[in-house]
Structure 1
Amino acid sequence: MQEQPDRVLTPGLAARVEMTVTDDDTAQAVGSGDVPVLGTPRVLALAEAATVAATARHLPAGTTTVGTRVELEHLAATPVGRTVTAQARLTAVDKRRLTFEVTVVEGEQTVAQGRVERVVLDRQRFIERAGRSS
């Protein structure tokens, strides 16, 4: 896997993504609890979407990233109808391993924070291997 000069993964890359919480995003709907507030699995999915967005334009052709490790503190409840924003910042690059700091906020309140690790790999080879393992 060779990197092209204009596609370099360096610390500092960042992205933000946002979503408005719907009934489908609640802990009740996703099976992670029985309360009608933003469920932790959806918080994690939003945080991971921010990590993907942070590197999408910088990956070498034919590569992708997959999540390998997550540390996430879900600190505050978010009711249906509110908008949350996830921000991811690439903090470390160790060969193919990427480490991101992630924060999810609603207005000024921190909803969640943590760290996500992803690995850069050949997209086609990964899909082929995944198909063989089932």
Structure 2
Amino acid sequence: MKPSLKSGLKHSFSYQVPATKTVPHLYDEAPQLQTMPDVFATGFMVGLMEWTCVQLLEPHLDEGEGSLGTHIDVSHKSATPVGFTVTVEAECIELRGPRAKFKVSAHDGVDEIGSGTHERFIVGWDRFERGVAAKRAQGPAKVDA
């Protein structure tokens, strides 16, 4: 992690909502979701908030480092139709060693659709992959994709 990573850093990212990011597409195999409205899914909003925080962190990480989401506490307040552009604002509000906490909010041009906090843990990918490999070795012999 570079010394340039500090509380107060801000980043914003805009994304136009396609039909594939609506509630029925969250889990194609879930029949209960197939009958729900074609609006931006909460799960995809959370992912967009994470993506924005990853973008904020990226220039401040050393080679071979990345970050993993460890906590999210957000509300989804308003439905967003397909075709609208959602803009996420992220601000780094706290750093504790390799942990970064962000204030996040999302707006669709009409309403604030979500807000809250998100935390990420900065890792070295080599070490992380070793941990995943060790877990995989302890898990089921065959994993269905």
TM-score by length of 2: 0.84
Map of 2:141 onto structure 1: none
Runs of 4+ with >4 A deviation? none
- 1:61-76 pair list within 5 angstroms: 61-76=63-78
Map of 1:36 onto structure 2: 38
Which secondary structure state, in structure 1, belongs to the residue aligned with residue 52 of structure 2? Answer: helix
* Deviation of the 1:132 alpha carbon: 2.1
Q: Deviations over 1:31-53 (max 9, x none)?
A: 38411100001100100011001
Map of 1:79 onto structure 2: 81
Map of 1:9 onto structure 2: 5
CA RMSD in angstroms comes to: 1.5
TM-score by length of 1: 0.90
Which secondary structure state, in structure 2, belongs to the residue aligned with residue 92 of structure 1? Answer: strand
Letter in 1 for 2:119: E
Structure-1 separation of matches of 2:72 and 2:96: 17
Unaligned runs of at least 5 residues, structure 1 = none
Letter in 2 for 1:71: D
1:118 counterpart (108, 120, 133): 120
How many corresponding residue pairs? 130
Q: Counting strand residues as a fraction of each chain, which structure ranks higher?
A: 1
Unaligned runs of at least 5 residues, structure 2 = 137-145
Letter in 1 for 2:16: T
Q: Deviations over 1:2-36 (max 9, x none)?
A: x55xx431011121112111110001111384111
Percent identity over the alignment?
Answer: 26
